[in-house]
Structure 1
Amino acid sequence: MGKNDLEPRGVAAVWPLTQQPRNQDALLGLNRTEGSDLNLAALWRIAWTWRWLLLGAVAAGIAGGVIFTLLTTPLYRSEAVIEINPPSVEVMDGGKAGPVAQNDQAFVQTQSGLLRSRSLAARVVQDLNLASNEALVPDPNADRATRQRIATNLLNANLKVESDERSRLIKISYSSADPQLAAKIVNGFADSYIRTSLERRYQASSYARDFLQKQIGTVRRELETSERQLVAYAQQQGIIRTGAGESATSDTASLTGTSLVELNKALADAETKRIAAEQAYRESTASSATVEISERTADLRNQRAKLESDYREKATIFRPDYPELQSLKARITAIDEAIRTEAGSVRAGQSGTRRADYQAALSTENTLRSRVEQLRGQVLDLRGRSIQYTILQRDVDTNRSLYEALLQRYKEIGVAGGVGVSNASVVDRGDVPSSPYKPNLMVNLLLGMLIGAGIGLGTALAVEFINDTIKTPDDVRDDLELAFLGGIPVSKGKRPTEALREANSPISEAYFSAAMSLQFTTDGGVPRVLLVTSTRPAEGKSTSTWALAQHFARLGRRVLLIDADMRKPAFVTGREKEDGLSNLLTTHDLLNNHVQQTDVEGLWLLPCGPIPPNPAELLSSPRLRAILAEATSAFDMVVIDGPPILGLADSPLLSTVCQATLMVVEAGKTRTRAAVEALNRIRSSGGNVVGALLTRYRHEATGYGYNYEAYSYRSVENRNREIRAIGGRAE
């Protein structure tokens, strides 16, 4: 089959075989998407398409990593671990010193900065005499200061300090081409850091002692002066303070104030007693002393009750004027009078006693109140004279507190405090490394591979997006706005015509799915007259025409395949000079005389016939419609293999007389602009394009790029691309 042959491989997705509306608009609406995105599937497709480019870039990156490893000087790293112990700071609170822990992480970060400091590096250079080491300072003619500066800069550049936020450990490491030197320097940093820390603490305590000595002398003189002034003022004003623990501003610290406080307490007690006596007196006046009266008149009330009982008993028998009843009533009246007399005497006795108590309490209160008022005036006068005394007393107290605090702090600070335990200790000393840590071959290979893969993938993406071709079903739906009827895979090892003879081959299954999809492209099912064409040559249209016609014939239809490509015919019988479409178009012969039966049952072929000099003129004649009308009356379906669209007028002319047109697009080869232009030509001619087939379509990847070949005339004797499908002439 030559350039129109397909190379089957894999099975492609096709149009779903569920019930769909049988019209082109519905079919297009189902296939359109919002647009294609750069998703994982697209990236995988691009990576597979350009896998050799990616593999080459990865191989170049790995080679670069190997070369870099070989050219890099080996470096050795020695590591040491230091533990940092933040000191606790004593804070004075209420005259007592208490330890307060510092912020651990802030302190650790501060110590990390000190380890990176230039001054520490300069001390290490001096302690280890590194300025004379030719491995660090290769210029022996430089002066001492220059060599020390060079060595210091080199130590700072190769030193690495790392701190862990969750612990107090600091790891210091040094890199050098000499493993012995790396271990020596990292241990020198650890030792110098600890010695420097101790020296700073001693210097700080020495300065504090000198400062405290000066401050203690000054404060002591100020305390003596303030005490003298306080005593002199108290003698002058006659102020005597009795309360040793009382504040100088308290009135109770003087004799007068003490007396006033005691009198106030006595006055408060007297007021309480007077109020109680007054309350008792008022209650005795208002009440009837019921309890005492009841006790003292109990016998009289018992006698009265007995007489009252006798009177009522005899009143039921005798009349009220009976002498005995009169006697009982007189006795009851006498007892009532005796009860009233006894109650009056009780009340009068109680009232007199409580009145006397009340008057005594009131007199005591008045006496105390007069004395309090007198002492209050004296206290107010003393308070006015004590203002200056209070000021002097405050100065004395302040100076005394300051003096005692400075004296205590001076006792705490000593030589032992300055040279105490260091806030850092070495956990692990640096060992001599046995192998270099840089260059790391595996890391360099991994970085080279990643960089190469990134460059390769970036290049593939750039080329992919620059090259505008139809690659996927989404491109068919979005760019061409056509229904995707099926994807025809590429085959491996067999010619497409051979693979089509096997019903279970991937390419046969793909074409069968495409044939089934055609049933949903029109309201009447499969188009009676179907034109198969493509944008350019060698896209597989002839193979697709043969495969579709063969599949419809196997479904029990009488199918006529017409080879209308009268420039480069693909179907040959050996009798093209006598029979064929070109002869029918130029004569009024019957169609049946030119149709030949193929080796597929139910499939007939109308070859192109002799190649005419003017195919477009023949196809534009009214004779073509008559031939197709005769073919549709004799066959169930007519499938036409048309020439490519671009550059030729044949296919647009054929599309005007066909019920439907099927576009064949080679995946990854046909440019989008060319396919859109070809589609516009068909539609502008009035053709009905029902969908598109993607040939040479890969699920895992789509082919990319093509070399456009000119469409040239040739004779039907070129057997490299012929489809031998003729079994005999139809009767």
Structure 2
Amino acid sequence: MNNNLPVPDGNGNWIVDRYSVDRLGITTEPVNAEGGKGLDFAALLRIISHWRWLILGAVGFGVIAAIIITLLTTPVYRSKVTLEVNPPTVEIMDEQERDRSSTGVNSWDYVATQVGLLSSRSIAERAAQDLNLANNKDYVGTEGDTSTRLKTAIDKVSSGLNVEAPEDGQLIKYTFDAESPQLSATIANQIAESFINSNLQRRYEASAYARNFLEKQIAKTRGDLEKSERQLVAYAQAQGIINTGSGDAGSSPTDANSIQGESLIALNKALADATARRVAAEGAYRSGVAVGATADVTASTQVLRQSRATLESEYQDKRTLMKPDHPDMLSLRSRIDELDRQIVRETSQASSGRTNTLLAEYRGALAAERALQGRVGALKGSVLDLRGRSIQYNILQREVDTNRSLYDALLQRYKEVGVAGGVGTSPVSIVDRADLPSSPYKPNLLLNLLAGLGLGLAAGLASAIALEYLYDTIKTRDDVRQKLGLACLGAIPKTSGQDSFIEELKDPRSIVSEAYSAVVASLRFSTDEGLPKTLIVSSTRSGEGKSSSALAVAQNFARRGASVLLIDSDLRKPAFKAASDKIGLTRLLTGEDEPARSHIVATQFSDLWLMPSGPLPPNPADLLSTSRFHEILSEVTSLFDIVIIDAPPVVGLADALLLASVAGHVMFVVESGKTRTKAAIEALRMLGGTGAHILGATLTKSAEDMGGYGYKAYGYGALDRKRTEILMIPHETDS
């Protein structure tokens, strides 16, 4: 026979037997031995529906707890203040001032720094001290000394301050919580004032440090400057150096700064002038003599020349009338010759005087030039000697100039620091001050109710899920497939009691009857041969509805025209009762010669017969372990179309295993919400060990909503809870 028991695959999973899967069309999936594949949405809805009262109780408890907490919580008032933060623009160094346009102060970093400073304990301490909160008994009480109360006040201010860092912009918003609206607004505003004062104080302290540093540097530089100046003067006195320069800082030292240099410059200028005069005199003497003598001669002989010209003109006029040897003509000629002699004499005298004058001037200029050249040569040697002796002087002079420049620069920085260190505009200003709160911030009844509702719902769901997995049971069709790896033959709804259950079975249109009809239909396709000839109905434990299911399946087959025998093989706790206890399975097992038909009785259902269990034996397992039960089963299977055996539970007893090894086919019954997964798996493993073919599982007492069947309206379980025996009454015609 085939066996559809879940078997391990070596990895901790359980595999469904292929035969049942193929016959019933169920998808083969790995099944964990602990049960289930996980928590999906459908499973969550089922858990919520099953544990709804627990979840509602947790929600109600959360709401009530929220109301109680709201009533017991001391009111807390919140005040809000808005500050504007502007990065500082005061720069101390010129280089920083020049670079400020490009580098600048990172506004975001500065605002973030201010947020951290505002949240610091030092601001809380300053605010507590400014308001004298240590002596405010309404805020810190009267216990402890002053220092202890001050520490308490600082802790309360720090804990009540909530600073909100801006995502963008330069506005910082913060709130302060206190049990008094007046204290809330007062402390919130004081924190803003203390924060601004703290910024100003830090700024002043920073500039004071810079001033102290500069004062030290100025004093040191002043000493260096005085020392270098003394060394310069001493060296100049020792070397006889007199510097006539302007003394401007940074000017390069030259030879003109000494007396010798100045004299050399003056002499060079005079020498240049003398050379120019000598060159001019020489030129005049050598090339300009002729030009200069002619001019002088012309000036001195001009009268004589005019007289001669007059006489010459008269002589020419008279020549037309007189001969040259005429006395008048001879007289005029002698007079003209005399004037020519006078002109020659005057010309010679004038030319000789001009030449002598130019020569004298040339000689004087040459002498002056040669004298100046000698003086300049002497001064050049003196200046060159002074230059050699001024090297050390220049070195000392440069040191003096450097120290003086450094000293002046430090003085200038000191003045700038003094200006920057003054109390100027604060980088923090108050935009909105805190107003007196009109209502408490906490407790918030609506928020507490929502929180209580949410926490209660979460706790309820968590508890439901925890209980669901703590008490891991089979509840739905999917659980049967996934946790047990079996085909679910059907799900039977709950009913209200025994009488109603029997009435439901008699009515083929009832919901319970329809549900078992679906189980019967599944059984018709559970084997290769179709409907099994013999069928064992068992369960993990007692009270799961196996006897009711055995009766319902048998009644459904009988209603369809098949002759059905129901055998009550539970020899310990039988579920079916006949009119007489002198017949039954026990009598057959203990008697060798009695035929089986003599222990079969008719029931109130047509075509349904019963073989009761008979009297309770002291050793049921010993009776069932003999070959007699196999003989009995062979006999009754030849008499009836179907034989259904109501077997005892599997766990803890050997009866069901012995019966299953003979019958061969098992329908496993599982009570919804009661049967533990591990127990069911263990029972299936034990049944599988007998070689029986487990056809599938029937889910009883199900609260699952099965489409249009409306199973939730029915209650089922009175039969197995009370273990009431069912009286099988035969028809009047069958006596």
TM-score, length of structure 2 as denominator length: 0.62
Q: From the superposition, tell whether residues 95 and 52 of structure 1 become closer, same or farther in structure 2 (CA, over 3 Å).
A: closer
Counterpart contact for 2:21–2:487, Cα < 8 Å:
no
Shift of the 504–422 alpha-carbon distance from structure 1 to 2, 3 Å rule, reads farther
Partners of 1:721 and 1:115 in 2: how far apart? 83
For each residue in 1:582-626, what CA deviation from the matched residue of structure 2 results, as whole angstroms up to 9, or x when unmatched? 6766564573994537545xx422241754546666656655444
Q: Distance in 1 between matches of 2:411 and 2:83?
A: 37
The alpha-carbon distance between structure 1 residues 216 and 568, as it changes in their structure 2 partners (threshold 3 A), is closer
Specify the code of the residue in structure 2 equivalent to 1:186. A
Match of 2:177 among 172, 175, 178: 175
Partner deviation per Cα, 1:85-135 (whole Å, 9 max, x = no partner): 121363757696442432334433433343344544444344434444331
1:304-453 mapped onto 2 (5 Å cutoff): 399=403, 402-403=406-407, 405-415=409-419, 418-453=422-457
Aligned sequence identity (%):
47
- The structure-2 alpha-carbon separation of the partners of 1:496 and 1:399, relative to structure 1 and needing over 3 Å to count, comes to farther
Give the 3-state SS of the residue equivalent to 1:433 in structure 2. Answer: coil
- Secondary structure of the corresponding residue to residue 605 of structure 1: strand
Pair 1:561-2:562 in alignment: no
Deviations along 1:463-501, one digit per CA (max 9) or x if unpaired, are 555546545567656776655444433357994444445
The match for 2:28 is 30
How many angstroms does 1:186 deviate by?
A: 1.0
Q: Any idea what the Cα deviations from partners look like across 1:626-660, whole Å, max 9, x if unmatched?
A: 44334433443322222334555543343233131
State the AA in 1 paired with 2:64: A
The reply to whether residue 535 of structure 1 matches residue 540 of structure 2 is yes
Verify the 8 A CA contact 2:554 2:608 in the aligned structure 1: no
Structure 1 residue runs without a partner (length 5+): 1-18, 250-382
**What are the superposed Cα offsets for residues 666-719 of structure 1, whole Å, 9 maximum, x if unpaired?**
23323456545544554555544333323223448999xxxx99x99x9xxx9x
Match 1:656 to one of 661, 684, 695? 661
AA in 2 matched with 1:430 = A
Residues 1:79 and 1:656: Cα distance change in structure 2 (over 3 Å): same
Which letter does structure 2 place at the counterpart of 1:84? V
Say which SS state the counterpart of residue 197 (structure 2) adopts: helix
Match of 2:136 in 1: 133
Mark the CA change 1:245 to 1:508 in structure 2 (over 3 Å): closer, same or farther. farther
Q: Is the 8 A contact 1:248 1:393 kept in 2?
A: no
TM-aligned CA distance change 1:546 to 1:219, over 3 Å: same
Paired residues in the alignment total 567
C-alpha distance 504-134 of structure 1, shift in aligned 2 (>3 A)? same
Q: 1:196 aligns with which of 184, 195, 198?
A: 198
Q: For 1:227 and 1:725, locate their aligned partners in 2 and report how far apart those are by CA, in whole Å.
A: 142
Against the structure 1 CA distance between its residues 484 and 239, is the aligned structure 2 distance closer, same or farther, given a 3 Å change threshold?
farther
| Equivalent residue number for residue 270 of structure 2 | none
User: Of 712, 726, 735, which residue of structure 2 is paired with 1:722?
Assistant: 726
1:114 corresponds to which letter in structure 2?
L
TM-aligned CA deviation for residue 44 of structure 1: 5.0
Match of 2:642 in 1: 637
State how far apart, in whole Å, the 2-side matches of 1:384 and 1:607 are: 148
- Tell me whether 1:525 sits opposite 2:527 in the alignment: no
Q: Once the two structures are superposed, what CA deviation does each residue of 1:532-582 show, in whole Å capped at 9, x if it has no partner?
A: 12233221112212332344456665444334445554445x644687656
Tell me the amino acid that sits aligned with residue 664 of structure 1.
V
The Cα shift of 1:439 comes to 2.2
CA distance in 2, matches of 1:598, 1:26: 33
Aligned residue for 1:514? 519
Worse-superposed segment, 528-537 or 643-652: 643-652
Q: How does 1:438-517 map to 2 (within 5 A)?
A: 438-453=442-457, 456=460, 459-460=463-464, 463-467=467-471, 469-471=473-475, 482-491=486-495, 495-500=500-505, 507-517=512-522
CA deviation profile, 1:428-454 (whole Å, cap 9, x unmatched): 110111111122333434444455455
Distance 2:389 2:170 in 1: 62
2:161 matched to which residue of 1?
159
CA 1:636 to 1:466, structure 2 compared with 1: closer, same or farther past 3 Å? same
CA distance in 2, matches of 1:191, 1:145: 23
Higher relative CO (Cα under 8 Å, sequence separation at least 6) belongs to: 1
Which residue in 2 is equivalent to 1:52? 53
Counterpart of 2:71, as a letter, is L
Root-mean-square deviation (CA), in Å? 5.2
- The structure-2 alpha-carbon separation of the partners of 1:130 and 1:656, relative to structure 1 and needing over 3 Å to count, comes to closer
Give the distance between the partners of 1:658 and 1:665, measured in 2 at CA.
20
The aligned counterpart of 2:115 is: 112
CA distance in 2, matches of 1:90, 1:502: 101
* Aligned-partner SS, 1:661: strand
User: 8 Å contact 2:70–2:443 — kept in the other structure?
Assistant: yes
Partner of 1:275: none
Q: 2:645 & 2:594 partners in 1: Cα distance?
A: 20
CA 1:50–1:215 in structure 2 vs 1: closer, same or farther (change >3 Å)? same
Partner Cα distance (1:675, 1:33) in 2:
13
Cα distance in 2 between the residues matched to 1:401 and 1:727: 136
Q: CA deviation at 1:191?
A: 1.9
Task: Please list, as runs of the form range in 1=range in 2, the aligned pairs for 1:701-716 lying within 5 A after superposition.
Answer: none
**1:82 to partner: Cα distance:** 1.2
- CA change 1:160–1:673 in 2 (3 A) is closer
Relative to structure 1, is the Cα distance of residues 22 and 435 closer, same or farther in structure 2, using a 3 angstrom cutoff?
closer
Question: 3-state DSSP class of the match of 1:66?
Answer: helix
Change (3 A) 1:618 1:387: farther
Residues 289-335 of structure 1, C-alpha deviation per residue, up to 9 Å, x if partnerless? Answer: xxxxxxxxxxxxxxxxxxxxxxxxxxxxxxxxxxxxxxxxxxxxxxx
